[in-house]
Amino acid sequence: MARPTHYTPALTRFTVSLLYHEARHQGIPMTRLADTLLRESLKGSPGWQQATSLRVAEEPPPYYSSKPAA
């Protein structure tokens, strides 16, 4: 069975540049920085509550794991 696809929003080149430079400054991956910024800004919002009710927000992304990637 094929995997379901998810919408992947396009970011402006400037936003990607901001994420890249800030992530390098903090010494973390861009994906972690973007995820953290979005989660912090959306926490408690109607979208957050709906996603939480659907159990979408329960599992953190794999890059939060303290285990090294296999």
Task: Assign 3 a pLDDT band (cuts: 50, 70, 90).
Answer: low
pLDDT higher than threshold 90 for residue 66: no
pLDDT higher than threshold 90 for residue 57: no
CA distances to 16, 19, 31, 33 from 25, rounded to whole Å, are 14, 10, 14, 11
CB-CB contact of 35 with 1 (8 Å): no
What pTM does this model have?
0.65
Q: What is the pLDDT of residue 22?
A: 97
| 63 contact partners, CB below 8 Å, separation of at least 6 | 29, 31, 32
Q: What is the mean pLDDT of residues 11-34?
A: 95
Query: In the numeric block, which tokens belong to residue 12?
Result: 């402006």
Q: What is the pLDDT of residue 4?
A: 67
Sign of CA dihedral 15, 41, 30, 70: negative
Type of residue numbered 28: I
Q: What is the pLDDT of residue 56?
A: 58
